Amino acid sequence: MPPKSDAFPYRRGSAASEDDFFDIPDETCLALVKRQLRHIRTWVALAVFALLVVWLRRAPAAPPRPRSHINYDAVDWSRFAYTQYATSETYLCNCVMVFEALQRLGSRADRILYYPQDWDLIIDSPEDRVSQLLLMAKNEYNAQVVPVKIEGVNLDRTGSKQSWDMSRAKLFAFSETQYERVIHLDSDMILLQKLDELFFLPPAIVAMPRAYWLLPDQMLSSQVVVIEPSYREYNALNDAVKAAMSGQVQLGQSKNRYDMDLLNDRYRDNALVLPHRKYNLITGEFRTKDHRNYMGNEHEEWDPDRALAEAKFVHFSDWPLPKPWVMWPQKELAEMQPKCDNNPGTPEESGCRDREVWKKIYDDFRHRRKDVCKLLSFPAPV
């Protein structure tokens, strides 16, 4: 067995002596501290970077603050207009309500109201509500009131021939070629926000939201229509109306061609599609429990307050319930109103926010209707 000295070559004849093995570099304490601090800073920087990466991947991206690229104060608003039509005293009041909302919300675009040519602006009696409302639209809300002939409809001042066929009157908006763009609004709605931003959409003859409640059918809704006026389009649509009235319709089409049908026939495949979540909320959405069509996905939760807050308007559509200006039978209302989420129809029911929001929409409309469509003063006979 070799001696211990041979087992440890560092003790004899080795290139590295024991003193060399335990040698401490001749370095000051300050230099040592500096070197260690450099290592510490490197590890801290790496740790901070790793934490930042983890945080960025976990935290949801904050939505960008909305910025308008349009200087609204510099816009020549005479180039743009809102249009509506009225074929009865009831809908005339609704039109006045929309004009009042546009004025209250600060819209500066022109306003146009189409009405049957046999009406007039002369108030014959305190009961002459039609003439009063026409004058209100003209004098208080600066609307241009335009008499028109509605093809194929014999209409009296009470609107006794009122039907969806008369919705074709909105096609007059296509003839307003003195404007670069017009927005036509149905009047059976409550307007919550102005829609002036739609005047500045990319070029398109027509922009309309999707009728999301009809999905998967790809139908566009005519409750709001953004139009680039054109005589060519106006004449083409009128030809379609005349063909429908004479029974010359294509195979599979109904003889009763309403405005929504006519617009879809011509523009379904080339219209600019507006997002329905902002531009086409209907009251019936608060009565359903399946909101996938409205939300556009299956993962987002329905929130009635949020839906109402983001909507530009709400269209009254609760068939078979009548419109809000018609008195509802209490039994029918109890059956058709939105159901609560928990224990519906029992004394213990809860989760009724859909019903509360739905009722508030109707109540707000009725109160505003009463305030806006008030009787005008009428001079006593001499």
What is the secondary structure of 155-180 as a DSSP string? --TT-TT-SGGGGGGGGGGGG-TTSS
Task: pLDDT band for 64, please (50, 70, 90 cuts).
Answer: very low
CA 46 to chain centre: 47
Q: List CB contacts of 194: < 8 A, sequence separation 6 or more.
A: 102, 105, 106, 107, 312
Residue 81: how many CA atoms within 13 Å on its side-chain side? 24
Distances in Å between the Cα of 63 and the Cα atoms of 55, 60, 66, 67, 252 are: 17, 9, 9, 12, 46
Q: Which of 182-191, 202-211, 242-251, 256-265 has the lowest mean pLDDT?
A: 242-251
Pairing label, strands 80-85, 110-116: parallel
Residue 140 phi, psi dihedral angles, 5° rounding: -90, -30
65-69, 183-187, 344-348: range with highest mean pLDDT: 183-187
SS3 244: helix
- Top mean-pLDDT range of 67-76, 273-282, 319-328: 273-282
Number of residues that make up the chain = 382
Contact 283, 357 (CB under 8 A): no
Cβ contact 167:259 at 8 Å? yes
Cα–Cα nearest to 116, from 81, 188, 168:
168
- Tell me the two tokens of residue 12: 């004899």
Question: Burial code of 214-230, b = ≥16 C-beta within 10 A, e = fewer?
Answer: eeeeebbbbbbbbbbbb
Please count the CA atoms within 13 angstroms of the CA of 260 that sit on its side-chain side.
15
Nearest by Cα to 86 from 154, 17, 148:
148
Tokens 């009225």 belong to which residue?
86
Average pLDDT of the residues of the chain: 81
State the DSSP H helix or E strand holding residue 362, giving kind and residue range, or none if neither: helix 353-372
Q: Check: CB of residue 218 under 8 Å from CB of residue 209.
A: no
Closest-CA residue to 291 (of 280, 299, 302): 302
Q: Domains in the chain and their CATH numbers?
A: 74-284 (3.90.550.10)
Query: C-alpha angle 353/354/357, rounded to 5°?
Result: 80
pTM, entire model: 0.76
90-128 pLDDT tens trace? 999 999 999 999 999 999 999 999 999 999 999 888 888
Name beta bridge partners: 281: 314
Identify whether the C-beta of residue 186 lies closer than 8 Å to the C-beta of residue 82: no
pLDDT at 32 over 70: no
Q: What average pLDDT does the segment 3-31 reach?
A: 52
pLDDT tens track for 210-240: 999 999 998 999 999 999 999 999 999 988 8
β strands within the chain, DSSP E? 80-85, 110-116, 143-148, 181-185, 189-191, 206-209, 224-227, 272-274, 281-282, 313-315
Q: Which residues pair with 84 in a beta bridge?
A: 113
Mean pLDDT of the region 307-330:
90
Hey, what are 230's tokens?
Answer: 């054109």
**Strand order of the sheet with strand 313-315?**
189-191, 313-315, 281-282
Structure confidence at residue 162 (pLDDT) = 41
Structural tokens at position 275: 């997002």
Question: Which whole number is the average pLDDT over 136-159?
Answer: 76
Per-residue pLDDT, 375: 66
